[in-house]
């Protein structure tokens, strides 16, 4: 008995060859009935394969090192903060190492030499004032000459630098600028230019620099230019004969605490911070979005299979009536799903790889991935997609086969004649319970304070979407009763038939309408949630920015603090406020443990701050922003549960842990960032040690043009600094970065694209399956025009119901998002976005129904009435 049960269980999971042979025969005989399931699985496989390819690329590839190409091991600081065992957050600034680590590493057995390296971003100006660019817009970095051995660079012409005012250029940079030996160039560090004599050019043997340019000065001069003479950015290790990189990495990390060893391609993560950040982002987003898509694929495939099984009710009922057992029904449907899902998953793999490269392109356009980040295409993502799709299809097939398999043969035949109108009580209860739960998540600010209130309100949309899925047939039946007569004239035969069909076959209608409503809900929350945040930030910026003029950097890392002192003495200048930016991490109590969130921060000087930047302070005094002090936005303060006078655990952009005292809480966090720190504290812990901008407020009555001319005259000795008006600051990327919106748009587009495919797929399946119904209506006197009019009436019901249910499910989350972000219950609704959602909804549903109707009416009624169900 036990062995028999085990065999039955195994057969449910792994079909026998004869089951697969029978399934293949069934599929060949009913191609139309399985096309919908095949399309849903193939599209799902493409998305999962794309996410898997991105994930594998993030874990195993990157950008090969250039200046560190000659090293065995590269040592860097801990560039990430680990949130838990599976996730971590990258610091936005470079984490440096103490200079004494170099000697400690050099003493490890197997190390031939250890060389400390610093990276100082510079702008190179020729004698006639032209800026020499890096390759393809990449930056130029200055280093100490000893670090040239890490590539290794060899002197091609001239000699190595020996005096503080001597420099060696990489050969490609010298060629691009037309610079020759003994010529004088200016190196601009931050905004401060200094003159150097070119004493040599150098090149890497057999290779060039593709994503940077290098200039070399003496080691002492490089340390002075970096502003951190006691720190190094990285330590390059040259191996002694017989020592492998892996062995050296283990020895060094065991002997020297506080360093991370990188070998192979991982060396590029230390050399290029953007590569390490991109790898981390790709892994995190691909894993998160891929997991979400697996759930969506399961839902869509299950919905498609349910429709397919309902269309085969008579066939399955007949099988039960002639003696087929429930196990045989399960075996048959399981074998069919195995064949369809395996073929669909394989077919979707190639488009999935192409989709991965498209997604990579969007990452690059958004500025969160370097253009030379390599993709790794392999079999692992395809195999993972195959397993997930087959498992999803088998699970969905088992769920939809349960109802047919468990009823008696007599009940099966009777049930096949009329579509059931009631939904299960468990499904009904779940749908009803989810509505108040979604409202609680949306408006329960006491449960989800701060930015979690907006995030939770946005996440609550998934609860309403699931509620729609559970209550769909009942909701659709109610909408037909209330609005059906207004959408379709009952005086006409086509209008009467459209409403009667929709009322009688509400389950069939809901299988197409509810996914469409879900797509409307998800699209509306994404589009209008983003527009609410953008409009709120823009409003706060425009109202809060009081500066008349803005200084920014045309090239290089930013504006040096020395420029601030220079412009303060200009006649007509009332207030000067330097603004530095970084991302910080706040750690705070959360339930039984702690949580850490990333916030956009800016560093300012508090003196007369409200005259250049109005943060709308609600509590405390921004004038106390000195030393280890911090001001938080209302959203951030609520999130971390901070109060004026208390302290917070804050990690600066380079990982430095501080515990500043909260001196103020303000409202305009969307426009100016959620964290405000003293300017000198932020500048000291940024990689380049510069400001992003300088805000200038003029004395009342000062001529703006005259002041602008005076400012240009003062900053003329700073070649990379330019004078602009307040629009320069308004148009610059916000403190939160400019790439997040693009990534959200990318993933939502992929998600909604898959839902659109599923909706069209379902509508086509539901319509083309009515061939015999259309034939019978024609035989009893209905014309083809009347049938088209009937289907137009049904399309109106589908479109109206989808927009109605989607709008109802969208309203609470949008109100919650708006309350959480702006304290206003009125979200910002984009007319363009609204029109696009309505147009796409109409095009998808109406277009699919019209095309499918034409296909279903292609046969003569006499031939179609006797055809297959």
The region of weakest confidence among 331-335, 420-424, 472-476, 559-563 is 420-424
pLDDT in tens, 274-287: 887 777 777 877 88
Of residues 325 and 232, which shows the higher confidence score?
A: 232
Residue 206 neighbours by CB distance under 10 Å: 6
Mean pLDDT value across residues 252-266: 92
Residues 779/402, Cβ–Cβ less than 8 Å: no
Residues 787/778, Cβ–Cβ less than 8 Å: yes
Predicted structure pTM score: 0.80
> Which of 781, 785, 743 lies closest to 360 in space, CA to CA?
743
pLDDT band at 739 (very low <50, low <70, confident <90, very high): low
In angstroms, the Cα distances linking 72 to 374, 599, 792 are: 22, 36, 70
The region of weakest confidence among 179-183, 643-647, 786-790 is 786-790
Of residues 639 and 146, which shows the higher confidence score?
A: 146
Position 680 scores a pLDDT of: 94
φ and ψ of 591, to 5 deg:
55, -120
Q: How many CA atoms lie within 13 A of 273 on its CB side?
A: 19
What percentage of the chain has pLDDT greater than the value 90?
A: 33
pLDDT band at 845 (very low <50, low <70, confident <90, very high): confident
Position 20 scores a pLDDT of: 60
| Beta bridge partner(s), residue 215 | 142, 169
What percentage of the chain has pLDDT greater than the value 70?
A: 87
**Residue carrying structure tokens 């991965």:** 356
Position 290 scores a pLDDT of: 77
> Which of 291, 285, 300, 286 lies closest to 43 in space, CA to CA?
300
pLDDT beyond 80 at 510: no
* 3-class secondary structure, 121: strand
Mean pLDDT value across residues 725-735: 71
First-last CA distance in the chain: 39
pLDDT in tens, 64-75: 889 999 999 999
Position 481 scores a pLDDT of: 77
DSSP label at residue 145: G
The region of weakest confidence among 87-101, 383-397, 596-610, 669-683 is 383-397
Q: Which two tokens stand for residue 660?
A: 């500043």
Of residues 278 and 204, which shows the higher confidence score?
A: 204
Position 622 scores a pLDDT of: 94
pLDDT in tens, 465-506: 888 878 877 887 787 778 777 777 666 777 777 777 777 776
Position 4 scores a pLDDT of: 54
pLDDT band at 522 (very low <50, low <70, confident <90, very high): confident
pLDDT in tens, 6-21: 555 444 445 556 556 6
647 burial via Cβ count (<10 Å: 0-12, 13-18, 19+):
middle
pLDDT band at 268 (very low <50, low <70, confident <90, very high): confident
pLDDT beyond 70 at 414: no
Pairing of strands 166-170, 192-204: parallel
Any residues with CB less than 8 A from the CB of 373 and at least 6 apart, and which? 57, 61, 62, 63, 275, 278, 360, 363, 364
pLDDT beyond 70 at 86: no
Mean pLDDT value across residues 30-42: 73
* 3-class secondary structure, 540: helix
> Cα–Cα distance between 811 and 821 in angstroms, integer?
16
Any residues with CB less than 8 A from the CB of 808 and at least 6 apart, and which? none
Residues 639/452, Cβ–Cβ less than 8 Å: yes
Position 101 scores a pLDDT of: 95
Residues 775/321, Cβ–Cβ less than 8 Å: no
pLDDT in tens, 210-239: 889 999 999 999 999 998 999 999 999 999
Q: Which two tokens stand for residue 757?
A: 């495919």
Q: Report the mean per-residue pLDDT for the chain.
A: 83
pLDDT in tens, 538-593: 888 888 899 999 999 887 678 998 899 899 989 999 999 999 999 999 999 877 77
Residue 146 neighbours by CB distance under 10 Å: 17
Position 526 scores a pLDDT of: 80
Mean pLDDT value across residues 159-186: 94
Helix axis angle, 493-504 relative to 784-822, nearest 10°?
60
pLDDT in tens, 444-457: 644 444 455 556 66
Of residues 661 and 31, which shows the higher confidence score?
A: 661
Q: Sign (positive/negative) of CA torsion 193, 717, 555, 190?
A: positive
pLDDT in tens, 117-140: 999 999 999 888 888 888 887 889
Q: What is the DSSP string of 803-859?
A: HHHHHHHHHHHHHHHHHHHHS-S-----HHHHHHHHHHHHHHHHHHHHHHHHHHTSS
* 3-class secondary structure, 530: helix
Pairing of strands 213-217, 140-144: parallel
The region of weakest confidence among 134-143, 240-249, 293-302, 581-590 is 293-302
DSSP label at residue 582: E
pLDDT beyond 50 at 177: yes
- Helix ranges (DSSP H) in 107-233: 171-177, 219-226
Position 729 scores a pLDDT of: 81
pLDDT beyond 70 at 102: yes
Of residues 149 and 370, which shows the higher confidence score?
A: 149
Helix axis angle, 784-822 relative to 771-779, nearest 10°?
140
> Cα–Cα distance between 135 and 119 in angstroms, integer?
17
Pairing of strands 593-604, 675-678: parallel
pLDDT band at 186 (very low <50, low <70, confident <90, very high): very high
């Amino acid at each position: 008995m036990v062995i028999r049960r085990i065999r039955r269980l195994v057969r449910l999971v792994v079909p026998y060859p004869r089951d697969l042979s029978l399934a293949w025969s069934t599929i060949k005989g009913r191609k139309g009935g399985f096309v919908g399931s095949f399309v849903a699985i193939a599209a799902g496989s493409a998305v999962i394969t794309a996410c898997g390819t991105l994930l594998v690329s993030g874990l195993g590839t990157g950008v090969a090192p250039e200046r560190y190409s000659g090293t065995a091991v590269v040592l860097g600081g801990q560039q990430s903060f680990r949130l838990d065992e599976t996730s971590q957050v990258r610091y936005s600034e470079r984490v440096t190492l103490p200079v004494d680590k170099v000697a400690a590493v050099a003493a490890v057995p197997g190390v031939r030499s250890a060389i400390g390296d610093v990276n100082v971003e510079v702008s190179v100006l020729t004698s006639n004032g032209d800026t020499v660019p890096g390759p393809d817009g990449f930056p130029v970095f200055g280093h100490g000459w000893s670090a040239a051995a890490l590539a290794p660079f060899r002197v091609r012409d001239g000699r190595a630098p020996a005096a503080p005012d001597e420099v060696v250029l990489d050969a490609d940079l010298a060629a691009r600028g037309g610079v020759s030996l003994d010529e004088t160039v200016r190196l601009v560090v931050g905004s401060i230019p200094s003159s150097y004599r070119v004493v040599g050019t150098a090149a890497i043997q057999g290779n060039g620099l593709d994503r940077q340019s290098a200039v070399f000065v003496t080691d002492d001069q490089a340390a002075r230019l970096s502003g951190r003479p006691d720190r190094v950015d990285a330590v390059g290790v040259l191996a002694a004969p017989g020592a492998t990189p892996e062995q050296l990495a283990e020895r060094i990390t065991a002997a020297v605490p506080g360093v991370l060893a990188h070998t192979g391609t991982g060396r590029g993560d230390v050399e290029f911070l953007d590569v390490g950040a991109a790898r981390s982002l790709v892994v995190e987003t691909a894993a998160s979005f891929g997991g979400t898509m697996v759930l969506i694929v399961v839902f869509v495939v299950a919905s498609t299979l349910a429709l397919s099984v309902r269309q085969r009710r008579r066939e399955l009922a007949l099988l039960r009536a002639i003696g087929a057992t429930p196990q045989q029904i399960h075996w048959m449907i399981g074998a069919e799903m195995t064949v369809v899902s395996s073929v669909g998953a394989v077919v979707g793999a190639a488009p999935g790889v192409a989709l991965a490269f498209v997604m990579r392109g969007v990452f690059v356009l958004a500025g969160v991935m370097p253009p030379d980040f390599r993709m790794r295409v392999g079999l692992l993502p395809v195999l993972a997609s195959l397993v997930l799709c087959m498992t999803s299809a088998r699970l969905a097939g088992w769920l939809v086969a349960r109802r047919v398999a468990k009823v008696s043969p007599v009940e099966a035949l009777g049930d096949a004649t009329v579509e059931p109108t009631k939904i299960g009580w468990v499904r009904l209860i779940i749908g009803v319970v989810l509505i108040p739960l979604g409202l609680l998540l949306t408006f329960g600010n006491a449960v989800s304070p701060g930015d979690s209130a907006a995030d939770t309100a946005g996440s609550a949309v998934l609860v309403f979407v699931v509620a729609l899925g559970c209550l769909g047939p009942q909701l659709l039946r109610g909408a037909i009763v209330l609005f059906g007569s207004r959408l379709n004239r009952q005086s006409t035969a086509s209008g009467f038939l459209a409403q009667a069909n929709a009322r009688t076959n509400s389950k069939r209608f809901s299988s197409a309408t509810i996914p469409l409503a879900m797509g409307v809900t998800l699209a509306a929350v994404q589009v209008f949630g983003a527009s609410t945040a953008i409009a709120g930030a823009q409003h706060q910026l425009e109202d809060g920015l009081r500066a008349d003029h803005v200084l920014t950097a045309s090239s290089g890392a930013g504006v040096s603090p020395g420029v601030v002192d220079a412009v303060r003495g200009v006649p007509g200048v009332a207030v000067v406020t330097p603004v530095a930016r970084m991302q910080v991490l706040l750690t705070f109590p959360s339930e039984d443990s702690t949580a850490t969130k990333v916030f956009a921060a800016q560093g300012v000087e508090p003196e007369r701050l409200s005259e250049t930047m109005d943060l709308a302070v609600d509590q405390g005094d921004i004038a106390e922003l000195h030393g280890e002090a911090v001001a938080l936005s209302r959203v951030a303060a609520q999130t971390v549960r901070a109060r004026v006078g208390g302290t917070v655990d804050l990690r600066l952009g380079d990982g430095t842990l501080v515990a500043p005292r909260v001196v103020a809480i303000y409202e305009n966090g969307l426009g100016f960032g959620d964290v405000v720190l003293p300017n000198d504290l932020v500048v000291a812990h940024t990689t380049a040690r510069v400001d992003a901008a300088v805000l200038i407020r003029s004395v009342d009555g000062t001529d703006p043009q005259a002041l602008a001319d005076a400012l240009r005259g003062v900053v003329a000795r700073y070649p990379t600094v330019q004078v602009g008006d307040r629009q320069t600051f308004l148009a610059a990327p916000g403190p939160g970065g400019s790439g997040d919106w693009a990534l959200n748009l990318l993933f939502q587009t992929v998600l909604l694209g898959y839902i659109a495919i599923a909706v069209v797929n379902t509508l086509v399946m539901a319509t083309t399956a009515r061939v015999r119904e259309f034939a019978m209506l024609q035989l009893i006197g209905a014309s083809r025009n009347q049938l088209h009019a009937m289907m137009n009436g049904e399309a109106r019901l589908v479109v109206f119901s989808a927009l109605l249910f989607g709008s109802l499910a969208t309203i609470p989350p949008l109100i919650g998002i708006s309350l959480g972000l702006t304290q206003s219950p009125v979200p910002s609704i984009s007319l363009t976005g609204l029109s696009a959602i309505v147009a796409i909804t109409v095009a998808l549903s109406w277009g699919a129904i019209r095309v499918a109707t034409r296909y279903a009416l292609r046969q003569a009624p006499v031939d179609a009435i006797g055809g297959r169900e």
